[in-house]
Amino acid sequence: MQNLRYSERLPAIVSLIVCAIGLSSVSAGWKKIGFSGKEIRALAVGNDVLRDRQVVFIPVDDSGVFTVSGPDDSMYQFLYQNSPQDRPTGRIHSLLVAENGATVLVGSDSGLYGGSIYFSSLPIWRKTSFASTETVTDLAESDSVFCAVTASGVYRAKNAFGTWWPCSLSGAPVRPASGSVFTSITSWPVGYGFVVGSAAAGSGAATGKVIFGSRDARSWTDGVCIQECTCINGDVYSLAADTHMTIYAGTSKGVFSAVDFDTGCWHSHPPQLEMPIRDMCLARMNSSGMPPDIYVATDSGVYLKSIQTTASAAWNRLFDMKTFAVEVMEVSGEYIIYAGTIDGLWKYDKSTSVIGIRSGKLPHPAAERPAVMYSIDGRMVSRKNRERYRGVYITTQGTCRTRCNFR
């Protein structure tokens, strides 16, 4: 009878064990801090100018934009709660906090919206004059000029609430190659212009085209505006720039980098991480010219790698849930990682266990290595030296087929 009762309880015991394993695979140190069941497709770190602190901006479908402070997960603030009739509705795809911290832009299914952070308690959500019926999939700012990307066009404005103009080349609007769509945009440092990436539409052939904006961000016009580069072997899903004139492209083949407008090729650093890079975040940039740490969001979770340690360092997987957006905030010398996922907002803020990927290929989930103790950058270090090492840089390899020449 005792054996029978034990056998009856066995499925429940096994179920509990499976649940425990499932929870641990998310990676210790991560916790969900809000918006359960919501897809968070964009994140941005900016300053709360009213309270003089860093916050994370979180766009939530059918709700609007929220902020949360780094040290206190519970301190959520709903931006512009007094203007519900004007706030973004539907799915929110893109988010930008202006360089001066005064303006936030949001691209949703219902249009492009903006608001002033200085007056966050007032009803000031406003729909901009952006006239395209397509959804804004990404936003960027350079030298006080704003740029927005839709599937088939690139638009700019000298004032977020002013007139938005389509960008042109040789007198015609900038368009992606046949069978492709624009996916992402970022700006060069120090106001040098913009970079736009494209990817295949549906199951079309990958083009990997990247378009470079003019050095004069305010003058995206014929004769000085853009050149096209097709030397990336893969679709471009995300772009980011550091403080030393380097642009990073997150593609279907990993991450590539190029320097300034004079680059002859996009560079890679094996081993590879061959999966779509949905979003990238640069951290620990310094004045010595060293490359930054890069955190990436993928369908398999959050990964990080650092070329400051070694260009051939392994990929490290920090989080194993489908992730759309990733941001890093430094608070009191500690790095806090935020992940926008298919199931709300998650946070990681201490050195803890991560899954180390030690080869160019990702292991089958059933054969995944057990968790190992690492520092926050994913490298195994002694407890004595733990504080000396942080951050990771992403690299991959690819082929270059075209030299890009710029005016």
| Peptide bond just before 271 cis, omega within 30 deg | yes
Give every strand in the sheet of 254-259, ordered side by side: 236-241, 246-251, 254-259
C-alpha–C-alpha distance, residues 366 and 14, integer Å: 17
366: exposed, middle or buried (C-beta count within 10 Å: 0-12, 13-18, 19+)?
A: exposed
pLDDT value of residue 259: 73
C-alpha–C-alpha distance, residues 153 and 120, integer Å: 31
pLDDT value of residue 22: 43
What does pTM read for this prediction?
0.75
Report the relative pairing of strands 227-229 and 103-108 from DSSP bridges. Answer: unpaired
Report the relative pairing of strands 194-200 and 210-212 from DSSP bridges. Answer: antiparallel
C-alpha–C-alpha distance, residues 62 and 81, integer Å: 13
* Whole-Å CA distances, 229 to 185, 208, 402: 14, 8, 7
Average pLDDT per 10 consecutive residues for the chain, totaling 407 residues: 44 42 57 92 84 84 82 64 64 90 87 76 74 92 87 88 82 79 83 79 53 52 46 80 80 80 64 87 67 87 78 80 93 86 89 31 28 33 38 27 26
Look at residues 195, 197, 202 and name the one whose alpha carbon lies nearest to residue 179.
202
Give every strand in the sheet of 145-149, ordered side by side: 138-142, 145-149, 154-157, 165-166
C-alpha–C-alpha distance, residues 350 and 302, integer Å: 15
285 CB-near residues (< 8 Å, 6+ apart): 242, 243, 244, 292
- Tracing tokens 């489908």 back to the chain, one arrives at 322
C-alpha–C-alpha distance, residues 110 and 135, integer Å: 8
C-alpha–C-alpha distance, residues 250 and 198, integer Å: 11
Report the relative pairing of strands 301-305 and 279-283 from DSSP bridges. Answer: unpaired
List the alpha helices (DSSP H) in 72-132.
none
User: CA angle at residue 30 from 25 to 36, to 5 degrees?
Assistant: 95
Look at residues 193, 89, 190 and name the one whose alpha carbon lies nearest to residue 146.
193
pLDDT value of residue 55: 86
DSSP letters along 316-374, please?
A: EEEE-S-EEEEEEEEETTEEEEEEEETTEEEEE-S--EEEE--SSSPPPGGGPPPPEE-
3-state secondary structure of 118: helix
pLDDT value of residue 289: 52
Look at residues 97, 98, 123, 127 and name the one whose alpha carbon lies nearest to residue 112.
127
Residue 206 structure tokens? 């990958």
Beta strands in 150-278 (DSSP E): 154-157, 165-166, 168-169, 172-173, 180-187, 194-200, 210-212, 227-229, 236-241, 246-251, 254-259
Q: Which domains does the chain carry?
A: 30-349 (2.130.10.10)
pLDDT value of residue 324: 97
Look at residues 221, 154, 228, 143 and name the one whose alpha carbon lies nearest to residue 185.
154
Eight-class DSSP state of 158? S
C-alpha–C-alpha distance, residues 138 and 93, integer Å: 7
